[in-house]
Each structure stands twice: as structure tokens, then as C-alpha cells.
Amino acid sequence: MNKKVNQKVLSLIEYYNLLNMDLLINNSPINRFENNKKLSNGLEKSQQLEELKKMIGSIKNCELKNSANKMVFSDGNINSKIMLIGEGPGAQEDQEGLPFVGRAGKLLDKMLGSINLNRKKVYISNVVNYRPPKNRRPTDQEIERYYPFLKLHIEIINPKILVLLGSTALNAIIGNGKAISKVRGKWIKKQIGICHPHIIASFHPAFLMRQPDQKKLAWIDLKLIREKMKQLNF
């Protein structure tokens, strides 16, 4: 091989090494976000949650995080068997760093109260942990980016009943293209990481404030949750 070609080959090898050969020979889509986030072994539940909080706090280049005031991680009882997932923080949640403390939260508290639940008996989080600017819906990319954290959050809490409030939570957990009006009112089976919760989707309280005539359907869903709690003996 002459000297020039030799030099070319050497720089090509260097180039490929730099680029990471795997990416070049693997034509499956590149997953930009690590999907299987893991926690350190042997931690207590509360420590696992602290570690998860730190992971979320170290997210970089995120429009949501950059424009938000506070991270909104969760509220409620970490040992609860019922976990509720909303969409994302609003203005008041962003100020206080707690989910569902605004007007929709007041309605959620009433809904929980109607089946003898409250914030000390359930655990609440959201699909995204930072307020979307101007309360817009999180984009598909944002939902995808936060999903590994949400999955880990569910795995740590390991609820027996998972309540998805609104279409963003439904789409994040069950998949796109499902209408909440078609899916609500029935139990859904889906494994989430190591968890096998009974999943139910219902209307988001903010939607119910705009469409109060839908509250009768939300009441049916609440009664289903109450029945399931009885069946599961809690």
C-alpha cells in the first residue's frame, strides 16, 4: 500500500472509532434517551425516590425545566397502593413544587373524598415534572423523554391500582391514539417494568371543570376504583 493510501486508511479508522462503530452498522433508530434508567441496589423506597428526584433534577437542555420555577415530583403516601398520574404541573404547582394544588387539584381532592380517599391515602405524580410554558400540553418528545423517569417512579411505588388522569397520562402509559372517552370505565392490563397494576383511565379534573356534564362518567370510574379496592382488600 502506498504511503498516501495508508494515511487515508488510518484516518478512516480513527474517524470510525470516533463515531462509534455500533451506530454505523446498526440501522435501528437511535434512542436518544436512555430508556432503562436504573437505581443503585439495596436502597429503601424513600432513598430510591430521592435518587430518582436527583436524576430528574440533572436533566439537561429541556425547555420545560429551563422555563419552570420548581420541579414537581409527587405528593401523597409513598406506601399507598393507589397511584394517580396527571399531565404536568400548572402555574400554582410550579410555585409550590407539589402536584394538583391549583383549581384542578381542589376538584381532584373532592373526587378522592367521594370514595373515602385523600392525599394521605394515595400517591400522585405527573407525566412530566416541570411546568410546560403557558400550560401547553407536553410534546410527544417531552413525554418520551420523561417516560423512563415515570416508569421508574411507578416501579418504585409499585401500586396495585394506577389511575391515569386524562389523555396525556393515558397516551404516555398505554400508547398513542387511544381516546379517553373510549378507554375510560374499564380496567386495562399492562405490565409497566416490573409492575402489574390494575390500570384505569378517567377524565382529567381540568377537563371536568370545562365539561361538568362528564362528571357523571367520572363518578362511574371512581366507583370502579372503590370496588377494586374492596376486591383487593384495602
Cα 147 to the center of its chain, rounded Å? 5
Q: Return the residues of window 145-184 that contact ligand URA according to CB under 6 A.
A: none
Q: Name which of 76 and 89 has its Cβ closer to ligand URA.
A: 89
Q: Give the nearest distance from C-beta 84 to ligand URA in angstroms.
A: 9
Q: Name which of 140 and 227 has its Cβ closer to ligand URA.
A: 140
Q: Name which of 99 and 197 has its Cβ closer to ligand URA.
A: 99
Q: Name which of 39 and 77 has its Cβ closer to ligand URA.
A: 77
Q: Return the residues of window 200-219 that contact ligand URA according to CB under 6 A.
A: 206
Q: Give the nearest distance from C-beta 164 to ligand URA in angstroms.
A: 11
Residues 176 and 144 sit within 8 Å (Cβ to Cβ): no
DSSP strands (E only) in the chain: 75-76, 82-86, 123-126, 161-165, 187-189, 198-202
Helices (H), 58-135: 63-67, 91-96, 103-114
* List of long-range contacts for 42-51, beta carbons under 8 Å, 24+ apart: 45/78, 45/79, 45/156, 45/157, 46/78, 48/156, 49/73, 49/74, 49/78, 49/153, 49/156
Closest alpha carbon to 108 in 218, 227, 211: 218
Q: Give the nearest distance from C-beta 170 to ligand URA in angstroms.
A: 12
Q: Give the nearest distance from C-beta 210 to ligand URA in angstroms.
A: 13
Q: Give the nearest distance from C-beta 116 to ligand URA in angstroms.
A: 22
The grid coordinates of residue 152 equal: 421508574
Q: Give the nearest distance from C-beta 232 to ligand URA in angstroms.
A: 26
Does 126 bind ligand URA (CB under 6 A)? Our answer is: yes
Q: Return the residues of window 33-72 that contact ligand URA according to CB under 6 A.
A: 72
The grid coordinates of residue 148 equal: 423512563
By beta carbon distance, the residue nearest ligand URA is 86
Contacts of 10 (CB under 8 A, 6+ apart): none
Closest alpha carbon to 117 in 86, 80, 147: 80
Does 132 bind ligand URA (CB under 6 A)? Our answer is: no
Q: Name which of 105 and 197 has its Cβ closer to ligand URA.
A: 105
Amino acid identity, position 138: P
Q: Name which of 105 and 159 has its Cβ closer to ligand URA.
A: 105
Q: Return the residues of window 81-110 that contact ligand URA according to CB under 6 A.
A: 86-90, 93, 99-100, 102, 104-105
Interface residues toward ligand URA, by CB under 6 A: 72, 86-90, 93, 99-100, 102, 104-105, 126, 206
